[in-house]
Structure 1
């Protein structure tokens, strides 16, 4: 976790909070401190222990619910996730990762994204990623990830991390038709020996073990062969070629009703425009809007659907026919 964070020290954002962390998370052009923490966790195989968040108060509640919350003046350990409240209120405004142990009430050393290198700039919406040493004055508290047991499955040695690719979650505990599709692709390529039954729509240790075998077959070694999909290996598994890119699996009807924000929505919108079904005044963009729904309804009508079957909510049949590229 700390190595992943250290690799970003000195990283500078682009205009309007344009960052690799925001693009990865699917919420670019927004304050990105917690997206950076989530990114470092994913990069280091610790997403299951650290969590996957863009909104600091939700991340705090996650640690509280797991019994992993410590008060502002507690003793601090390397790898703790520190949350700040600049106005002293109950809601977290900013977050970073602790890089050194310190005693109760002592200053803390951190790496933080979306902050400033000194005290003259914005502390919670700065221009980059920096090492900082801070007093406890603005600390709200600390989340303490269970790194040894939170990112690996007990004695199995299998990663319990998750990652998000094209708006879809992969890795232990992920659910959806896209998980079944990965499992079937693994079996088709001869990497299904760890299934006692399935594959199915819930990602289990069996999926991780089979995916690890597939990664090894591609030449990945060590932590790169952890059984958690990455964009490159996933594209190889799902049949992408230079002339035929991998297609995005249907993320499920419920996903769209949650008004998602993801590069997958932009890719879908571009395909709708290419099919002559775009109903956008501006866009398409990563946030699901009524314009996306109107455009998708036009695509459904083009495919011969009518009435309630052309309501603008994507279904698997029309999604597969649209051939949205994986992002």
Structure 2
């Protein structure tokens, strides 16, 4: 993970946030700090334990839900994921990876994408990837991935074996709707914590780790709990589970004040697309990542559709209308 990040030190973005990280993620021309972290995870085989995100608050919530969140003044380790809040609020604005152990309260050495080489430029939407050393003043907290072989619970590397059961292939690299069905069944039974996104039609390390957790719940140990399905465990998983899709993950509300700072974020695009889907889009073009008057006008139409009027339909998002809009997590 650290080697993948170090390989990008000195990388410079193109015009309007054009980067290889954004192109890989599918959200080019957007702020890309978290897409860079996700890219390094993918490049190094750590996607299952680091996650795949473009929006920092969703990434924070992912670590919190897994019990892998540390406070801003905690002792940190190489490989931890550091999140910043420039205004010291509860919402993460920027992210990087820690490159050296740091005692409680001490400065943090990092590699960060979408930042500046020094303190004179934008710290959260700069021009490239740089090594930085920062104080804890703007740190929100840290995610600690369960890297393979780490004391945080990664265990050994996921098995890359593949088996055939009933004429269908299961295990790393297997593809098909039957793979999605297994993933959905695992999520339905409470064994989906290793998914950063999905489940999808291609069997990944995340599927193996989730299946291993399910095997352990059945009492399997050692090589019998390697995350590769067997006929008996597969029958127990699918025989009692209809395989209904997991509920979609929703983006947390970043707060009204966040929108009033005229943000540029993939979250604004996602919100705009939901407004259009609800018949409230008032865009001449777009929606796009930059908050504009068109976004506010569209959101006001959504507020009115929800029954609000007057000052309660001013176009500035609130917690209730945001929850009802169901903006997907990024």
Matched, 1:86 2:86: yes
Per-residue CA distance 1:118-171 (angstroms, 9 max, x = gap):
0000000000000000000000000000102699985465269xxxxxxxxxx9
Q: How big is the alpha-carbon RMSD for the aligned residues of Structure 1 and Structure 2? A: 4.2
Shift in CA distance, 106/154, structure 1 to aligned 2, threshold 3 Å: closer
Alignment match, 2:159? 158
Matched, 1:102 2:102: yes
* Counterpart mapping for 1:32-181 below 5 A: 32-148=32-148, 154-155=155-156, 157-158=158-159, 177=177
Alignment match, 2:213? none
SS at match of 1:97: strand
Contact conserved, 2:100 with 2:109, CA < 8 A, in 1?
Answer: yes
Contact conserved, 2:146 with 2:153, CA < 8 A, in 1?
Answer: no
Alpha-carbon distance in 2 for matches of 1:86, 1:44? 29
Shift in CA distance, 85/179, structure 1 to aligned 2, threshold 3 Å: same
* Counterpart mapping for 1:203-242 below 5 A: 203=203
Contact conserved, 2:159 with 2:172, CA < 8 A, in 1?
Answer: no
SS at match of 2:136: coil
Alpha-carbon distance in 1 for matches of 2:73, 2:21? 30
Q: CA deviation at 1:203?
A: 2.2
* Counterpart mapping for 1:163-312 below 5 A: 177=177, 203=203
Shift in CA distance, 65/176, structure 1 to aligned 2, threshold 3 Å: farther
SS at match of 2:110: strand
Per-residue CA distance 1:277-308 (angstroms, 9 max, x = gap):
xxxx999x9xxxxxxxxxxxxxxxxxxxxxxx
TM-score w.r.t. structure 2 length?
0.50
Contact conserved, 2:148 with 2:156, CA < 8 A, in 1?
Answer: no
Per-residue CA distance 1:71-124 (angstroms, 9 max, x = gap):
000001000000000001000000000000010000000000000000000000
Contact conserved, 1:38 with 1:51, CA < 8 A, in 2?
Answer: yes
Alpha-carbon distance in 1 for matches of 2:154, 2:140? 31
Alpha-carbon distance in 2 for matches of 1:105, 1:58? 25
Alignment match, 1:16? 16
Q: CA deviation at 1:55?
A: 0.2
Alpha-carbon distance in 2 for matches of 1:172, 1:58? 27
Alpha-carbon distance in 1 for matches of 2:173, 2:72? 32
Alpha-carbon distance in 2 for matches of 1:201, 1:137? 43
* Structure 1 unmatched runs, 5+: 161-170, 181-199, 209-253, 262-280, 286-327
SS at match of 1:130: strand
**4+ residue runs over 3 A deviation:** 149-157, 171-180
Per-residue CA distance 1:246-303 (angstroms, 9 max, x = gap):
xxxxxxxx9xxx9xx9xxxxxxxxxxxxxxxxxxx999x9xxxxxxxxxxxxxxxxxx
Alpha-carbon distance in 2 for matches of 1:14, 1:27? 14
* Structure 2 unmatched runs, 5+: 162-170, 181-199, 209-245, 251-265, 267-283, 289-330
Shift in CA distance, 22/131, structure 1 to aligned 2, threshold 3 Å: same
TM-score w.r.t. structure 1 length?
0.51
- Answer with 11-20 or 142-151: which moved more: 142-151
Contact conserved, 1:81 with 1:96, CA < 8 A, in 2?
Answer: yes
